[in-house]
Amino acid sequence: MKYAFLVAWREYVESTKAKGFWIGIFMMPLMLFLTIQVPILLEEKATPIRYFVLVDQSGTLAPAVDAALERTYQKQVVEALKHYAAKYSKPGRDWVAAQRATSALPQFDGDSAQSVDAFKSRGGKESFLEQLRPCLKPGAPAFKEPRRVFQAVPLPSGINPDADFALLVNDLKPYLRADKQLLVNGQPADLYVAILIPKDIESRIVRPKSQASAIKPQGLTTNYQIQYWSTDVTPAKAGYGLAHDVEQAVNAEVRRREYLARGLDSVVIHDVDRTYAPFASLNPKKEAGQEAVNETDVIRQWAPSGFVYLLWLAIFVIIQMLLNNTIEEKSNRIIEVLLSSVTPGELMMGKLFGIAAVGLTMVGAWMLALFGILSWKTGGASDFAGQLLVILKASNLVPLFSIYFLLGYLMYAAFILSIGSVCNSIKEAQSYMGVLTMVMMVPMLTMTFIPKDPNGPVARLLSWIPLYTPFTMMNRANADPPMFDLIGTFVLLVATTVLALWMCGKIFRIGILRTGQPPKIVEMMRWAVKKSQ
């Protein structure tokens, strides 16, 4: 056993002194950091201001569009105020007071228009900052409002807003194509969008059971529609962007007028639309009085999927390292030198333990980086980071991840060592690795399905297939799987891993010094089940 540990130490030192290993160690924390930070930076810094023109020849819908865009912007202001309060509030009682002030901000879980109007009626941003000021840390910077990403500008000079749409569009196309530029505050700028509302839009509104209003005129079929001209082809039905906001605003105003035209009170109808029976999602496994499902519970349900991805990535990277290492030493005849000092079994165990130590080092670095970044981001711009950190500390995800990583690695490493011992080059190993990679793709394909039904038939079936046990049980970790599944699959996984290592030892002993064409899988199986001489 002493020689096996010496081989393991050699493998560990040889692998960890490589530049690629340290690049891999730092890449995952960097990717995690960038995943959190880059969207925030892009939203704040890299998103350019989008200028648009709104031509309302009907003279009736532009105010509704302007009001809707203002409400959308005020929602961004409210979110920025929440992040500002969380980041710069003093700890202790002042922090509690800041949280109390923050809780009074609109949540936008119902009617955003009414929420924004109520926020503005209470004094808006200025009133909130006045309440928050005594709770701020010394030296806290002044609150900076988010930029207005979409800004309306007047038509370029020389373009007639009352012209026929065909002429109007023809005049605007050079600006939309960036062949010409607008002048905004004396500076040249590109035109992002042109929104054109026809003069007779009231007569073109489509109503149920009204065929006349749906008849298109001859010629250009879009002449009777509100036109949204832009090189950005994101459709309104995508649920975000300027096209969506404008379409929602116009249709809301059209419906409000329709209520009035039919003698209905739009305010009453609006109140009726907001009337509901209270509905609560409750979890029977939670403590009495705390059964209500919240955002943290949703994160807890899906957090294991992230660990499944890390588990898959870690195992795949490490077994690839083991395969490359084994084949390289065999092709360079280093294996023959090593076998002059140690037995094939000691060499195999040394390689397994050495690369396992490399994997644990890598995974440990990832976990430390994960906790470090989440701790850093907690209380700042990311509520998700704080909630995820609480879940990780209170759950058994990290210990289970370590256990399933070790067992999953040993099981798959047995297959890889068997392949590496009989192949003389990476090219020869590719056909075997193709099959193994296809087998390993199943957990990735089911990664997002299992959290939806963690104790369903598919999840339970995959849990009892040892090749998929580490990934599936990791994905079910926060769903309280039956004790029979938890213990039974673990015992089966351990037994399968031991069996795989035993069979690998027999194949490794025969194949490691073998040259020539790699054997077929059937022949390798015969080696594995053949009794030792």
The model's confidence at residue 426, banded by pLDDT at 50, 70 and 90, is confident
Residue 39 pLDDT: 67
For residue 173, the model assigns a pLDDT of 92
For 289, the token pair is: 């009085």
Of residues 105 and 195, more confidently modeled: 195
Would you tell me how many other CB atoms lie within 10 Å of the CB of residue 226? 19
Residue 193: which H helix or E strand, with range?
strand 191-197
Closest CA to 230 of 184, 270, 172, 273: 172
Q: What is the pLDDT of residue 422?
A: 83
Exposed/middle/buried for 489, CB within 10 Å: 0-12, 13-18, 19+?
A: buried
Highest mean pLDDT among 263-267, 388-392, 511-515: 263-267
Lowest mean pLDDT among 88-102, 201-215, 222-236: 88-102
* Alpha-carbon span 247 to 239, nearest angstrom: 10
What band does 210 get if pLDDT is binned at 50, 70 and 90?
A: low
pLDDT of residue 215: 47
410 phi-psi bin (left φ>0, alpha ψ -120 to 50, beta other): alpha
List the one residue out of 397, 396, 412, 432 whose CA is nearest residue 314.
412
pLDDT band, residue 218 (cuts 50/70/90): very low
Q: What's residue 383's pLDDT? A: 61
Count other C-beta atoms under 10 Å from residue 421's C-beta: 26
**pLDDT, tens only, 225-239:** 889 998 887 766 656
Q: Which residue has better confidence, 84 or 491? A: 491
Nearest CA-CA partner of 190 in 232, 127, 234: 232
Are the CB atoms for 272 and 86 separated by under 8 Å? no
> What mean pLDDT do residues 9-27 have?
76
Q: For residue 206, report the phi and psi dihedrals to the nearest 5 degrees.
A: -85, 120
pLDDT at 104 over 70: no
443, 312 in Cβ contact below 8 A?
yes
* pLDDT for the residue 102: 61
Taking each helix axis from N to C end, the angle separating 521-529 and 483-511, rounded to the nearest 10 degrees, works out to: 100
Per-residue pLDDT at 94 exceeds 70:
no
Mean pLDDT of 183-200: 89
Per the rule left: phi > 0, alpha: psi between -120 and 50, beta: everything else, 167 is alpha
Q: Cα angle vertex 188, ends 185, 192, to 5°?
A: 100
| pTM, to two decimals | 0.62
Q: At what angle do helices 295-331 and 383-394 cross, to 10 degrees?
A: 70
| Residue 110, pLDDT above cutoff 80 | no
Instruction: Work out the pLDDT band at 222, boundaries 50, 70, 90.
Output: low
Least confident residue range of 83-97, 227-241, 258-272: 83-97
CA distance 201 to 250: 11
pLDDT score of 391: 75
In a 13 Å sphere around the CA of 347, the CA atoms on its Cβ side amount to 23
Q: Report, as an integer, the average pLDDT of 252-262.
A: 86
Q: Please report the pLDDT score of residue 211 as a whole number.
A: 47
Residue 59 exposed, middle or buried by CB count within 10 Å (0-12, 13-18, 19+): exposed
Higher pLDDT, 38 or 159: 159
Any residues with CB less than 8 A from the CB of 361 and at least 6 apart, and which?
Answer: 16, 25
User: Which has more confidence, 127 or 283?
Assistant: 127
pLDDT the model gives residue 378: 60
d(Cα 39, Cα 114) in Å, to the nearest integer? Answer: 29
Gap between the Cα atoms of 349 and 405, Å rounded:
17
Positive or negative, the Cα torsion across 237, 238, 239, 242? negative
Task: For the chain, report the end-to-end CA distance as a whole number of angstroms.
Answer: 22
Q: What is the pLDDT of residue 220?
A: 43
pLDDT score recorded for residue 491 = 95
Question: What Cα–Cα distance (Å) separates residue 375 from each residue in 146, 369, 379, 383, 387?
Answer: 25, 10, 9, 11, 10
Neighbours of 104 (CB within 10 A): 11
CA-only gyration radius of the chain, Å: 32
Pairing mode, strands 191-197 and 50-56: parallel
Q: How many angstroms separate the CA atoms of 481 and 466, rounded?
A: 16
**Bigger pLDDT: 423 or 531?**
423
Between 61 and 324, whose confidence is greater? Answer: 61
Average of per-residue pLDDT across 307-334: 83
Confidence of residue 470 (pLDDT cuts 50, 70, 90): very high
Please check the confidence at residue 52 and state whether its pLDDT lies above 90. Answer: yes
For range 168-191, the mean pLDDT: 90
Contact between 305 and 451 under an 8 Å Cβ cutoff? The reply is yes
Q: How confident is the model at residue 327 (pLDDT cuts 50, 70, 90)?
A: confident
- Tell me the average pLDDT across 274-292: 69
What is the model's pLDDT at position 487?
Answer: 93
Domain boundaries, the chain: 2-35+295-529, 48-273
**Tens digits of per-residue pLDDT, 59-77?**
989 999 998 898 888 888 8
SS3 call for 151 = strand
> Which of 35-39, 332-336, 340-344 has maximum average pLDDT?
340-344
Stretch 268-294: mean pLDDT, rounded?
Answer: 71
